[in-house]
Amino acid sequence: MGQMNPFASEHDMFRKTVKDFVEREIHPNAEDWEEIGEVPREVFLKLGELGILGARYDKKYGGSSLDFWYTLILCEEFAKSTYMGAAVSILMQCEMCTAAIHDEGSEELKQQYLVPAVKGELLGCLGVSEPSAGSDVGAIRTTARREGDSFIINGSKTFITNGSIADYVLLAVRTGSQGTGGVSLIIVPTSTPGFSVGRKLKKMGVHCSATAELAFEDCVVPASNIIGEENAGFKYIMHHFQGERIVLCGFALGAMEALMEEAVAYGKDREIFGRPIVEYQIWRHRLADLYTHIMAARQLTYLAVDAANSGIRAEKEISMAKLFTASLVKEVATEVLQMHGGYGYMEEYPVCRIYRDVAAFTIGGGTNEVMREIIAKQSGL
């Protein structure tokens, strides 16, 4: 497993399509999206037309039946835009709120939700975290009570990416006993009476991804909206966290590439005491160390993607890749900001925004501590 360069010419063509989209649609507009706090709907429609939202999904549902290398390319290129909020919001739609419908949803749910989601016509979000349950998914309190052919849902969710712009929530609910064995995944359309969006949360970074609190008060949804088997939701959530963790690795790799480009350009241009910054050995060596660590992060990520593609159970390797890349990107951002001196602290330099944006990477998709627990457990500790 693991290769120096796993990309062939068809990957390069796909990368070019994404790069062009970033140049055309994200770069000129993302500052406005940061201001309004969301990625506008028409952006998803344009992504849908290009086939980007369904890259990984079956052609039967409007996708392209491509493997995880393509998802990695998406993550890297959107992150290289330097607007992590846009990357997060888009990958929520391509991966996080659709993968379980594709893999475990009924044919009816796929037609009703996945097909329009892949076109960018229907936006989704993933509702797992609650005010009193984040890392401990088995502790969620939102309930879904069966009544005839329906479920009646009550509870609340927080930190939900795209929560205020979504048409449906892929929602984690308690349908059974306490703990992980009583959790199910169910689709709740946001037009359901009793559903409401609470506060739009003000965040440190990723400003153009909308993040909201959601409330459910006696929301009645058809029992057929359950994904897969009732009370098997925890298993599905953990399975799809693997994809989400690879997504975060891709974001981190893209962000690190953008940061290093900024560092080299700035370091060659800015003179201090008569010489460009990059001519000072301390900075040359610091950057050399970062290049080395980034290469290690890339190879760990490739190992994780290889495993995901071949269906090998690789929770440990994926957790290692997520822990390593998410920690490293924060270190790279810190060093590159420092190299910029006071300018790095100013909003007009991308490093300032990236520094804030990547702070969430060691938290979202499973925190560093959760990654370490998985690695320790799977190492027999």
Ligand X SMILES: Cc1cc2nc3c(=O)[nH]c(=O)nc-3n(C[C@H](O)[C@H](O)[C@H](O)COP(=O)(O)OP(=O)(O)OC[C@H]3O[C@@H](n4cnc5c(N)ncnc54)[C@H](O)[C@@H]3O)c2cc1C
Contact positions vs ligand X (CB under 6 A): 125-129, 134-135, 159-161, 203, 206, 211, 360, 363-364, 367, 369-370, 373
Q: Quote the least distance from Cβ 117 to ligand X, whole Å.
A: 15
Residue 71 vs 209, nearer CB to ligand X? 209
Residue 150 vs 327, nearer CB to ligand X? 327
Comparing C-alpha atoms, which of 310, 330, 315, 326 is closest to residue 259? 330
What phi and psi, each to the nearest 5 degrees, are found at residue 220?
Answer: -100, 120
Residue 115 vs 214, nearer CB to ligand X? 214
Q: Quote the least distance from Cβ 111 to ligand X, whole Å.
A: 24
From CA 117, how far away is CA 95, in angstroms rounded? 11
261 catalytic? Reply is no
Assign 254 to helix, strand or coil: helix
**CA-to-CA dists, residue 95 to 76, 86, 199, 245, angstroms:** 14, 14, 25, 11
Mark out the alpha helices in the chain (DSSP H runs). Answer: 9-21, 30-36, 41-49, 68-80, 84-91, 99-104, 107-109, 115-119, 233-269, 281-310, 315-339, 350-357, 368-378
Q: Are strands 124-127 and 168-174 parallel, antiparallel or unpaired?
A: parallel
Q: Quote the least distance from Cβ 96 to ligand X, whole Å.
A: 7
Position closest to ligand X via CB? 134
Structure-block tokens of residue 23? 């140049």
From CA 277, how far away is CA 264, in angstroms rounded? 9
For tokens 């909206």, the residue is: 225
Q: Quote the least distance from Cβ 361 to ligand X, whole Å.
A: 9
DSSP letter at 180?
Answer: G
Q: Quote the least distance from Cβ 136 to ligand X, whole Å.
A: 6
| Type and span of the H or E element at 261 | helix 233-269
Residue 326 vs 360, nearer CB to ligand X? 360
Q: Quote the least distance from Cβ 128 to ligand X, whole Å.
A: 3
For tokens 């994200």, the residue is: 26
Q: Which of 34, 77, 213, 244 is catalytic?
A: 244
CB atoms within 10 A of CB 76: 25
From CA 184, how far away is CA 203, in angstroms rounded? 29
Q: Which residues contact 119 (CB under 8 A, 6 or more apart)?
A: 45, 48, 49, 53, 62
Q: Quote the least distance from Cβ 80 to ligand X, whole Å.
A: 19
From CA 22, how far away is CA 249, in angstroms rounded? 19
Contact 120, 53 (CB under 8 A): yes
Residue 245 vs 298, nearer CB to ligand X? 245
The string over 92-128, giving b where at least 16 C-beta atoms fall within 10 Å of a residue's C-beta and e elsewhere, is: bbbbbbbbbbbebbeeebbebbbbbbbbbebbbbbbb
Residue 1 vs 376, nearer CB to ligand X? 376
Assign 314 to helix, strand or coil: coil
Q: Quote the least distance from Cβ 133 to ligand X, whole Å.
A: 7
Residue 169 vs 221, nearer CB to ligand X? 169
Residue 180 vs 211, nearer CB to ligand X? 211
Rounded (10°) angle between helices 41-49 and 84-91? 60
Q: Which residues are catalytic?
A: 244
